[in-house]
Amino acid sequence: MNDKPPSPWDKASIRTTDARKRENTGRRKEAAPAGEERPAVARHEAGNKQELRYYGLNAVQAVFARRPQAIRKVYLSEARIPQLQPLLAWCVKQRIGYRVVEESDLGKLAASSHHEGVVADVLRVEPQSLSDWLHGLSAGPALALWLDGVGNPHNFGAILRSAAHFGVAAILQSRDSTLAVSGAAARVAEGGAEQVPLVRMGERDAALAQLRAAGFVLAATVVREGQDLFATRLPQRLVYVMGAEGEGMDDELATSCDLRLSIPGTGAVESLNVAAATAVFLAQWTLGH
């Protein structure tokens, strides 16, 4: 007889829609962990809600490589000047302000010790609509992630990094999702936040219908009682639905999926972290396509 307590991921079949809405509302009000950047981002957003404060070398360089026009101001340590010469030359040419500051000032600007010698204020990227994303999607194999309730910025950043590595076509979000790229998520993503588009969906049934009409199969990811990921032939067009870190995915959404997939393991630990699990799921699809 198995006396193990149920895994948080197994709550995919029991979390109600009302509970998820309360969770999304509450997440806005949560205090950030000590040492994290969210208070600084909140203060910056109060001045300009169209901008975010990024920090970390790869995060800032990725913005410069893909959308330099989004950069509004740069702060850096003296030690980073040689490495960031192309960015600084561009700032001079475009009359974008930059300042060389002390390490302690960078820590205050980022509200984090993980600034890696550079902080930048950049314009946000607004999510695409599902219709626009599907219209621009190339024919053939495609993989997307539907994040239902995932809210931890470090998990989100790690997921973005894996998604960029494995060529995920988009991160899909429900219309009531509060998930967004932050400075912490961008740093952990190591440039991945600039590679993977975010897509905001509309009403759930309509979104499911649009995805299926475009050839996508939806797979709910669960810890137990799903098909063995490594023994299942995965479709060419697939959406992995990943549930929240603690509560799992919405019960109606889990029921609406075409597949239920699990990662087999030793049982020595209850489950993988959602970011680690996402990387395994993405790697297995990539192996077959």
Decide if 273 contacts 242 (C-beta within 8 A). no
Sign of CA dihedral 227, 232, 234, 235: negative
* Predicted pLDDT of residue 3: 47
Rg (the chain; Cα; Å):
20
pLDDT band (50, 70, 90) for residue 127: very high
* Poorest-pLDDT segment among 35-49, 50-64, 239-253: 35-49
* Predicted pLDDT of residue 246: 66
pLDDT at 36 over 80: no
Q: Where are the domains of the chain?
A: 8-20+126-288, 51-123
The per-residue pLDDT for range 77-94, each reduced to its tens digit, is 999 999 999 999 999 999
pLDDT at 247 over 70: no
pLDDT band (50, 70, 90) for residue 182: very high
Whole-angstrom Cα distance, residue 117 to residue 80? 6
Whole-angstrom Cα distance, residue 285 to residue 289? 6
Task: Decide which of 175 and 285 is more confident.
Answer: 285
pLDDT band (50, 70, 90) for residue 286: very high
Whole-angstrom Cα distance, residue 266 to residue 111? 39
Q: How does the average pLDDT of the chain come out, rounded? A: 86
Its CATH architecture, for the domain 51-123, is 2-Layer Sandwich (3.30)
SS (H, E, C) 178-240: CCCCCHHHHHHHCCHHHCCCEEECCCHHHHHHHHHHCCCEEEEECCCCCEEHHHCCCCCEEEE
Its CATH architecture, for the domain 8-20+126-288, is 3-Layer(aba) Sandwich (3.40)
* Predicted pLDDT of residue 269: 86
pTM of the model: 0.81
* Poorest-pLDDT segment among 117-121, 242-246, 274-278: 242-246
